[in-house]
Amino acid sequence: MKIVMLGAPGAGKGTQAKKIADKYGIPHISTGDIFRANIKAGTELGMKAKAFMDQGQLVPDEITIGMLMDRIGEPDCEKGYVLDGFPRTIPQAESLTEALGARGEKIDYAINVDVPDENIINRMSGRRACLSCGSTYHIVYAPVRKEGICDRCGAQLVLRDDDKPETVKKRLEVYHDQTKPLIDYYGKAGALCTVDGTQSMEDVFQSIVNILGA
Ligand code: AP5
Ligand code: MG
């Protein structure tokens, strides 16, 4: 099962992708998490990506596409995966379609987690992220058991550098301009399913399970 998560920054793509990965036994691949891991490790890729991410801009396709293609070529991806934050531009989607097409494969589901912009800023300011395992929490909607510590892996939680309100506004602009057209793209490909992302996390997940099958 090959899945793409679509939706604005803060719509809950990461939250739902993790649940999907756990339930269906496929890897959760987040380009944002890969970039953040590289920034933390101080790699050259991380340094390049950070300059764009801190401005709320997209990392250039030349960097992102190759990185993602390498990742989905790894052995754990044979049975499928859930992509979170990729594709984010039409050229990224076209590269993915082409690479899969060459092997007679395709994206089975593009799940659009639909949340209006008004709800986004509020969600982002309360978010806490684990840079070790990629888990995401919220101070009100998804609190941790022990403050500042990841329930899943025990690492220290952080506020993401790009969650400042002015950067979030820029990310939303970039989303509308460059990423939202993918809803149409996957609609035409017959893979699009939209879920109401303003529901509780459990209800959003149930809507997704209804689509993917139990
Ligand atoms: P990325 O890490 O992908 O960030 P994003 O798309 O902006 O999305 P977020 O991770 O901020 O939000 P999310 O939808 O995962 O929501 P979450 O589940 O955390 O990308 C970061 C940057 O990297 C980009 O800006 C770009 O620079 C670069 N980049 C990455 N991929 C790229 C690509 N392909 N090409 C180019 N550049 C790329 O939820 C948000 C909060 O809300 C959490 O606190 C959560 O607990 C809470 N929440 C979730 N669901 C609910 C709910 N139903 N009710 C209440 N609260 C909820
Ligand atoms: Mg995310």
Q: What is the pLDDT of residue 164?
A: 87
Neighbours of 181 (CB within 10 A): 12
13 in active site: yes
**Of 18, 88, 123, 128, which residue is the catalytic one?**
88
Reference 87, options 110, 53, 108, 114; nearest CA is 110
pLDDT, one tens digit per residue, over 146-197 is: 999 999 999 999 999 899 888 999 999 999 999 999 999 999 999 999 999 9
Instruction: Examine the residue annotation and report whether 128 is marked as an active-site residue of this protein.
Output: no
> Is-contact 9 172, C-beta < 8 A?
yes
On the question of pLDDT at 125 being above 90, the answer is no
CATH superfamily of 2-26+79-206: P-loop containing nucleotide triphosphate hydrolases (3.40.50.300)
What pTM, to 2 d.p., does this model score? 0.95
Residue 40 appears among annotated catalytic residues: no
Ligand 1 nearest-atom number relative to CA 113: 14
Q: What confidence tier does 214 reach under pLDDT thresholds 50, 70, 90?
A: confident
pLDDT bucket at 122, cuts 50 / 70 / 90: confident
pLDDT band (50, 70, 90) for residue 1? very high
pLDDT tens-digit series, residues 34-89: 999 999 999 999 999 999 999 999 999 999 999 999 999 999 999 999 999 999 99
Annotation says 88 is catalytic: yes
- For residue 10, give the ligand nearest its CA: 1
pLDDT at 12: 96
- Catalytic residue of the set 152, 160, 169, 180: 160
The residue to which tokens 């510590």 are assigned: 149
Atom of ligand 1 nearest to the CA of 55: 27
Query: 204 CB under 6 A from ligand 1?
Result: yes
Could you tell me which residues come within 8 angstroms of residue 164 by beta carbon, excluding any fewer than 6 positions away?
none
| Residue the block writes with tokens 């460059």 | 178
pLDDT of residue 13: 97
pLDDT value of residue 19: 97
> Is the CB of 46 inside a 6 Å radius of any atom of ligand 1?
no
Q: How far apart are CA 127 and CA 27, in angstroms?
A: 23
Per-residue pLDDT band at 103 (split at 50, 70, 90): very high
Report CA(85)–ligand 2 centroid distance (Å): 7
- Per-domain residue ranges of the chain: 2-26+79-206
Question: 67: which residues sit within 8 A by CB, 6+ positions away?
Answer: 31, 34, 45
